[in-house]
A and B are shown apart, each in its own frame.
Chain A
């Protein structure tokens, strides 16, 4: 009897849009976006390419501060980045043309994949940072 709420909770987690008023996109959408836009450079295992594309595993850039991560996707990254003493040189173009919901979905996906166990990113969080960046410019 005690196990039912846990199962429900897990279901809620997996299909979070239905539990949180559609604000946190589900992992299937995130995985699809990852395959379409990210995988060729960041690789199927999120491991990146030595000297070229930074890994998405074992780095605070992905699992840490959401604002920094959302900003990288919205603005792109045009400078070399150092992760675990390794320099990565290839630039990443802005993905600002994706919708806030798509950005939230793909970021949620990478924060919970490849062994990462971090929190979700919501559409609202992306919208808020997009607005902040727009006001700055």
Chain B
């Protein structure tokens, strides 16, 4: 009997191992995916240098380090050479003008890169910005740069909806919301000055609960972001929202941002069905009343809670022409659609021209979770988290569960 159980156990283990190695991505016809790195840790955002050196930002230290530089020295398409540096966890990473920028949850650092795009002083980065709010919740600091020497950083609101008591049923919203002075928006800093604090930066845009995906669109020279919308509409207001509405609402949103704009959090949320800014029930809303007339509208509303974690405008020539200047968005997948199934462990594409969507969004790459139905997010084998475009025009996708990186190419090799 004991042996039989042991046998069953070993079969189960080997089946699991096989399943983990066989996550097959579903892609549009003609595209192919290759796993180019595995088991790199909790890989959040990724960035690539012009010579193909890939940088990964880790949410959990690996041997005491939070940045991985990967190289494919033998040119077989798989990254095998790694260098670990940076003693801080975080999400944001970017390469610009022979500098590597990386964020912790309260600061931004800069590493000068040598001719091979390796950090010259891996132990001594320049500290560009420090002292940003980090209260655990929504603490990740995503970054991107424009072409005129500025860096943009998300400072997520350490709150769900700016209640007097965070996430407590019945606790009213704070009017005006004091969090917005130092969080709940995008801040702009100089990309080259050292030791900047809030006083040196500009609150570039506000009313953004938690931006995790952001990218500079070079076609129209503007900042675009993807926002994680609020939680707990159904749980806290069952008289206004049923379970289905609570799973679908509010929309996860995609905005084009200009300096000084306000996207309305916490006072309103975007209802993607009504296509309206609906007043939050904590601020007197009833699911119908509109609010915040001054606030801008998003370019697109996605189903609720899918967690858009990365945004990338495609500028390559490898993919078919319809992809040029369109947006790829990596969705991390939801945790708070229960009692419905969790959804959205995928990469989405939205065709765009002149900075404006020209059609509906579509699922571009799916199957990362390795499972048809996900009830709880920890069942997902992989969760997409970061995106970058390789010099040859391929799209790279990172995963923060098992630390895989996929390279998606066209046409089939």
Complex Cα–Cα for A97 and B167 (A): 14
| Partner among A45, A49, A89, A93 whose Cβ is within 8 Å of the Cβ of B168 | A93
CA distance A93 to B232 in the complex (A): 12
Chain B residues near A89 (CB, 8 Å)?
A: 136-137, 139
Is the C-beta of B320 less than 8 angstroms from some C-beta in chain A? no
Flag whether A53 is at the interface (Cβ < 8 A). yes
Given A35-B339, A53-B335, A93-B166, A43 and B137 contact (CB-CB distance below 8 Å): no
For A40, A76, A90, the residue with the greatest tally of chain B CB atoms inside 10 Å of its CB is: A40
User: B375 interface residue, CB < 8 Å from A?
Assistant: yes
Q: Which of chain B's residues have a CB closer than 8 A to the CB of A97? A: 169-170
Interface residues of B in 337-394 (CB under 8 A from A): 338-339, 375-378
In the bound complex, CA of A51 to CA of B42 (Å): 11
Q: A40–B378 contact, CB under 8 A?
A: no
B235 at the interface (CB under 8 A from A): yes
Give chain A residues whose Cβ lies under 8 Å from the Cβ of B235. Answer: 36-37, 40
B335 contacts across to A, CB distance below 8 A: 41, 43, 49, 52-53
Per the bound structure, the CA–CA distance linking A97 and B171 in Å amounts to 12
Q: Is the CB of A40 within 8 A of B376?
A: no
| Size category of the binding interface on chain B | 20 to 34
A115 within 8 A of B: no
Q: Whole-angstrom distance from the CB of A34 to the nearest CB of chain B?
A: 11
Chain B 304-345, CB within 8 Å of chain A: the 1/0 string? 000000000000000000000000000000011011000000
Cβ B171 vs Cβ A47 within 8 A: no
Known A-B contacts A93-B165, A93-B166; A50 and B378 likewise in contact (beta carbons under 8 Å)? yes
Contact in complex: A44, B136 (CB < 8 Å):
no
Shortest distance from the beta carbon of B261 to any chain A beta carbon, whole Å: 28
A49 engages B378 (CB within 8 Å): yes
Check: B59 CB closer than 8 A to any chain A CB: yes
Give the complex CA separation of A70 and B312 in angstroms: 46
8 A Cβ contacts from B155-175 to A: 165-171
Q: Residue on A with the closest CB to B139?
A: A89
Q: Let me know if A31 is at the binding interface, CB within 8 A.
A: no
Cβ of A91 under 8 Å from chain B: yes
**Chain A: minimal CB distance from B41 (Å):** 13
B232 contacts which of A36, A39, A40 (Cβ < 8 Å)? Answer: A40
Chain B residues with CB under 8 A of A39: 338-339
Given A40-B336, A40-B338, answer yes or no on A45-B169 (Cβ-Cβ < 8 Å).
no
Nearest-neighbor residue (CB-CB) of B159 within chain A: A91
List residues 47-83 of chain B with CB under 8 A from any CB of chain A: 59
**Distance of B25 from chain A, by nearest CB (Å):** 22
Task: Tell me the bound Cα distance from A35 to B339 in angstroms.
Answer: 8
Contact residues in B for A50 (Cβ distance below 8 Å): 377-378, 401
Check: A72 CB closer than 8 A to any chain B CB. Answer: no
**Residue in A44, A48, A93 whose CB lies within 8 Å of B167:** A93
In the complex, the answer to whether B166 meets A91 with C-beta atoms within 8 Å is yes
Scoring A36, A89, A93 by chain B CB atoms within 10 A of each residue's CB, the highest score goes to A93
Asked if A94 lies at the interface with its beta carbon under 8 angstroms from chain B, I say yes
Q: Which of A40, A43, A49, A93 contacts B375 (CB 8 A)?
A: A43
Q: Does A80 contact B (CB under 8 A)?
A: yes
Roughly how many angstroms separate A49 CA and B375 CA in the complex, as a whole number?
11
12 new A-B contacts, CB < 8 A, other than A43-B335, A97-B169, A97-B170, are: A36-B235, A40-B231, A40-B232, A40-B336, A44-B375, A48-B378, A50-B377, A51-B59, A52-B335, A80-B136, A89-B137, A93-B165
Binding site for A on B (CB under 8 A): 59, 136-137, 139, 165-171, 231-232, 234-235, 335-336, 338-339, 375-378, 401
What residues of chain A have their CB less than 8 Å away from a CB belonging to chain B? 35-37, 39-41, 43-45, 47-53, 76, 80, 89-94, 97
16 contacts between A and B (CB under 8 A): A39-B339, A40-B336, A40-B338, A43-B338, A43-B378, A44-B338, A48-B378, A49-B335, A89-B136, A89-B139, A90-B136, A90-B167, A91-B166, A93-B165, A93-B166, A97-B169
